[in-house]
Structure 1
Amino acid sequence: MKNNHLNAVVRLLTAFLVISVSTVVAVALMRHHPALVTTAVWVRTSLVAASAAVLLLFARRAAAGHRGSFRRLRIISMVVLIAIIAVVAWPGAFPVWLRVEQAVCGLLMLGVVVRTNLRVARSSLDAGAPG
């Protein structure tokens, strides 16, 4: 893993996964509070945790030099960032606590999107260099 940008992406996505899994645990603990945990919250937090795990897998493979994983990482991270922005911006759709958590995750994902779209990160894989 010689590409510092991809190493940083792995760290960002590790933090994203930890926050996402912690949020699922918090949702499970708050399940008896319908004002805080709705069906939409269950679905959203589960999907975010799953996407975080997949993105981290792709990031690790990309850091090892796998071009296909890097391409998937770039595309999926942009989609996840857009979905997070929609959740944060959509008033009333989710409880405030989840929107705050998603804003934090959005900042992490913004870092991933920026770093994976830097020319130096892309060119190291395009040239066949080891991640």
Structure 2
Amino acid sequence: MRNVIWLIGGYAAVSVLTLVTVIVFRDDTAMVTSGVWVRGTIVAAASLLTLFFAVRAERGDRRMLRRLRLVTAIMLVAITVIVALPGAFPVWFRLEQAICGLLLLPVVVRLNRRAGRGERKPAARR
């Protein structure tokens, strides 16, 4: 679970730095569109919330683990859509989202692989 927290921490750091970049370049309308403002703000807030879920899940909170599985999967799908849509966002933002997706992909795989193993009942011994 420690690797999951590091990956989500990286995702949160990239997302917050992106929001800082959006604020710094707010007057450049080609670089910072209204969509970048909205998506950048949502992603930064969601990434911090995701990090909170991960820390709580590591401490044994099963409810937070379920939330973490759900949120990371949803965010990965949303990121994939953003990266794939041509012209919806500036290239720099789509590249940033691709980096976030690459950080979340192993998290989603690991959490769901682990979930599958953890939910099976052990075979009865004779």
Q: TM-score normalized by structure 2? A: 0.90
1:57/1:12 CA distance change after superposition, 3 Å? same
Count of residues in correspondence between the two structures:
121
CA distance in 1, matches of 2:63, 2:86: 37
Query: RMSD of the alignment, in Å?
Result: 1.9
Partner SS state of residue 117, structure 1: helix
The structure 2 residue matched to 1:123, chosen from 102, 115, 118, is 118
- Report % sequence identity: 47
Q: Which residue of 1 aligns with 2:48?
A: 53
**Which of 1 and 2 has higher RCO (CA within 8 Å, sep 6+)?**
1
List alignment gaps of at least 5 residues for structure 1: 1-5, 127-131
Note the 1:16-35 alignment, pairs <5 A.
16-35=11-30
Question: Displacement of 1:66 after TM fit?
Answer: 0.6
List alignment gaps of at least 5 residues for structure 2: 122-126
8 Å Cα contact 1:116/1:122 also seen in 2: no
Q: TM-score normalized by structure 1? A: 0.87
CA deviations over 1:92-121 (Å, ceiling 9, x no partner): 000000000000000011011011112378
Question: Displacement of 1:15 after TM fit?
Answer: 0.4
Which structure: larger Rg?
A: 2
